[in-house]
Structure 1
Amino acid sequence: MDSLALKSEFPILNQEINGHPLVYLDNAATSQKPRSVIEAVKRYYEWDNANVHRGVHTLGSRATDAYEGAREKVARFLNASSSREIIFTRGTTTALNLVASGYARQTLQEGDEIVITPMEHHANLIPWQQAAKATGATLKYIPLQPNGTITLEDVEATVTERTKIVSIAFASNVLGTINPIGRIAEIAHRNGAIIVVDGAQSSPHMKVDVRALDIDFYAFSGHKMCGPTGIGALYGKSRLLERMEPIEFGGEMIDFVDLYESTWKEIPWKFEGGTPIIAGAVGLAAAIDFLEQIGLDEIDRHEKKLTQYALERLSAIDGVTIYGPREDRVGLVTFNLGDVHPHDVATVLDTEGIAVRAGHHCCQPLMRWLNVSATARASFYLYNTEQDVDRLADALVKTKEFFGYEPVR
């Protein structure tokens, strides 16, 4: 894969920041968009823009075809059994909240268990806190190993016959840990539980087959995988979606409305009240085309190689602490530079034209487990190169010099 050639497909990367060529290393927060995605959204607004499903005129028909065609593309991307198992949402957060409110609150009872991990993004933690409070269920945590991974033995010990839901990130947005989803699904199902997977950090980087992994619900966002912001999807097995109640009511999602009673459309449309994110779905479909043309396996190989190079370069800098496992991780490196606050590190890096993320990364419980208030994070994607990593490492050395930092001997 020629990352330098790919970089030319992303207009935003062809600029200088503070007098330096931009090195964008904040891809775990949001990825940049290739020209083909930008053009697809532009073409929709210039040529097909209309509301979907309701109109019989030509523009309405074209918009509906584009929107439902995008749903079919997402279904193939995840290897879902049917496009009816794909619900368009605003992103991973909305999708996980839909499961926690529309499924969990309808099925959980007092004494039931919800199992998650301390590495979860707030979007896969707070909805389960609220579901537990609303139903009387118990929230339990699979413990983390010192390197930020979990063991199947601990999964077996935590998941019991009372467990009804196991919800876990495929990959951690802080530690980079890739969790053994297929094995965890086996354990959950053996105990009569379902498995919900936060795919925000997996779908951009690796091929995910929801049927092969036997995942019950899977959520992801388009903006982290070269698509537009404001669009994502929830995959759910048909039998589970049929049991779920919608949490938004109004136009589009209804079948029959009377003065005192209403009925809903079939899945997936009963969960898509109001005018949907049509242009976003068109852009997501274009992003999937772009990624599949390159190949998810090729992207995965490139990022793993780049991450190992970054681990080597940053580990050689005195005072840099790196978090998470050293192998089998997605394309990000989370670190701290001595006692220099991560926000200060990120600010100095920005003066060198390097964009990284700094803060708690929506993982405050994990920060407390790491015994830090915040970290800096460099996250990679298909257009990043070893030269980008070299720029980061050189700028971190400059950051040390700027703050006069000397490691404790």
Structure 2
Amino acid sequence: MSLSNILQDFPILNQIDKNGKRLCFLDSAATSQKPETVIEAMNHYYRTINANIHRGIYQIAEEATDAYEKSRKKIQKFIHAGSASEIIFTRNTTESINLVANTWGRKNLQKGDLVILSEMEHHANLIPWQILATNQGINLEFIPVLENGLLNLTEYKRLLGLQPKIVCVSGMSNVLGTVPPIKQMAVDAHKAGALFLVDGAQMAPHMKVDVQDIDADFFAFSAHKMLGPTGIGILYGKEALLESMPPFLGGGDMISKVYLRSFTTNDLPYKFEAGTPAIAEAIGFGAAIDYLNQVGMDAISKHEMEITRYAIQKLQKVPGLKIIGPTDGFRGSAVSFTLDYAHPHDVAQILDSEFICVRAGHHCAMPLHTRFSVPATTRASFYLYNTLDEVDRLITGLEKVHHLFG
């Protein structure tokens, strides 16, 4: 993995501000930057084969359809799904989870049924189930987060004894960087008779994913966090489950036959892809998968672990700084922290004056911040294009914060 070559592949990262400082982007947990190949793949579609898919029988329509479906197959192989028909294009991780809640959930969950979540869930894997709880009277229980940022697996096993219908957990926390043992958690869930859903938004960009090895029933993730465009995501579901679920949205392409008073649904995966999809974005997603495969997910994971360990070591030496989440062991590359003398918004604003981008706030995980008795945190998150020098720039910026506020 040649970091210097990778940096040249991302046009936005070559920006220099008025003070001669290069852009230091440390907010990839929110969205990643895009390599030239992804941008050009989308441009190529619009410039040369812009046509609707699955309908036209003329040349460029067929080429557009072929490019769209090739991306689906690339994604299937990337997460080791058994079939391309198990790969459903959605708008994002949020829509993928809402799809499950509003189709499988509405059909299979009755009043009093239990859904298990965790205290570290992103709102995308919390609100859909809360809405279902309000509308259908289901119960929600939560795996606690320990003080070190890990899940309380003893309590998880106790909750499984309550006979839940489904367990829905993040494969990697966007705040804590925690990576739960989801393969074993899936085994335990299935033994208890529950399905297992993984919010893979933070997991899929940073490590190898094998949904069959995990034995996930559902796995949701987004393109924009893994070098792809915004506005497109994936729901993986086991084929038998998807076949049994009612459609999510109605309209064109998700139907086989339509009559004035009834319709029959299309085959998978089109049953869940109503209307004209995000064609250019799907093609761009395929190009992002090509880029990640070229670099290698093992190389990316190794690089991120090196960067994250270095960052944690440096951050722990900053006066008044507290890291929220695990500080050792196997973890993700998002590092959230507080300073006892400065609000996260002030921290982010001062770092921005140094052309350093970090996130400040609750990161769509308000209950998790409540768990740690903090209203907000500052989060630095790293990806394949970040360097040790950028960690040093972050520390220098925090020294400026300490000078102004400490």
The bucket for the TM-score relative to the shorter chain is over 0.9
**1:146 matched to 2:147:** yes
The match for 1:385 is 387
The match for 1:4 is 4
Q: Secondary structure of 2:378's match?
A: strand
Give, as a single letter, the amino acid of the residue that structure 1 aligns with 2:9.
Answer: E
TM-score by length of 2: 0.98
**Which shifted more, 290-299 or 326-335?**
326-335
Give, as a single letter, the amino acid of the residue that structure 2 aligns with 1:398.
Answer: K
Shift of 1:390: 0.1
Percent of aligned pairs sharing the same letter? 51
Asked if 2 retains the 8 angstrom alpha-carbon contact of 1:307 and 1:331, the reply is yes
The match for 2:356 is 354
TM-score by length of 1: 0.97
Asked if 1 retains the 8 angstrom alpha-carbon contact of 2:93 and 2:221, the reply is yes
The match for 2:191 is 190
Alignment of 1:282-361 (within 5 A): 282-327=283-328, 328-361=330-363
Asked if 1 retains the 8 angstrom alpha-carbon contact of 2:161 and 2:192, the reply is yes
Give, as a single letter, the amino acid of the residue that structure 2 aligns with 1:175.
Answer: L
1:63-95, Cα deviation, whole Å (9 max, x unpaired): 110111111111111111100000001110110
Q: In the aligned structure 2, how far is the partner of 1:131 from the partner of 1:190? A: 24
Shift of 1:18: 5.1
Shift of 1:159: 1.4
The match for 2:59 is 58
Q: Secondary structure of 2:115's match?
A: strand
Q: In the aligned structure 1, how far is the partner of 2:369 from the partner of 2:167? A: 22
The match for 2:16 is 16
Shift of 1:399: 1.0
The match for 2:210 is 209
Give, as a single letter, the amino acid of the residue that structure 1 aligns with 2:143.
Answer: I
Q: In the aligned structure 2, how far is the partner of 1:105 from the partner of 1:125? A: 16
Asked if 2 retains the 8 angstrom alpha-carbon contact of 1:161 and 1:192, the reply is no
Q: Secondary structure of 2:308's match?
A: helix
The match for 2:108 is 107
Q: In the aligned structure 1, how far is the partner of 2:213 from the partner of 2:394? A: 38
> Paired residues, what number?
404
**1:250 matched to 2:251:** yes
Q: Secondary structure of 2:48's match?
A: helix
Aligned match for 1:397, one of 396, 399, 404 = 399
Q: Secondary structure of 1:335's match?
A: strand
Asked if 2 retains the 8 angstrom alpha-carbon contact of 1:96 and 1:124, the reply is yes
Asked if 2 retains the 8 angstrom alpha-carbon contact of 1:17 and 1:351, the reply is no
Q: In the aligned structure 1, how far is the partner of 2:18 from the partner of 2:122? A: 32
RMSD: 0.9
Give, as a single letter, the amino acid of the residue that structure 1 aligns with 2:155.
Answer: D
Shift of 1:171: 0.2
Q: In the aligned structure 2, how far is the partner of 1:258 from the partner of 1:21? A: 59
Q: In the aligned structure 1, how far is the partner of 2:8 from the partner of 2:160? A: 47
**Which shifted more, 17-26 or 172-181?**
17-26
Shift of 1:189: 0.3
The match for 2:378 is 376
Shift of 1:154: 2.0
Shift of 1:135: 2.0
Q: In the aligned structure 2, how far is the partner of 1:32 from the partner of 1:49? A: 24
Give, as a single letter, the amino acid of the residue that structure 2 aligns with 1:273.
Answer: A
Asked if 2 retains the 8 angstrom alpha-carbon contact of 1:132 and 1:139, the reply is yes
Shift of 1:288: 0.4
Asked if 2 retains the 8 angstrom alpha-carbon contact of 1:18 and 1:353, the reply is no
Give, as a single letter, the amino acid of the residue that structure 1 aligns with 2:6.
Answer: L
Dislocated runs of 4+, deviation >4 Å: none
Shift of 1:124: 0.3
Structure 1: give runs of 5+ residues left out of the alignment. Answer: none
Q: In the aligned structure 2, how far is the partner of 1:399 from the partner of 1:260? A: 65
Q: Secondary structure of 2:300's match?
A: helix
Q: In the aligned structure 2, how far is the partner of 1:312 from the partner of 1:242? A: 49
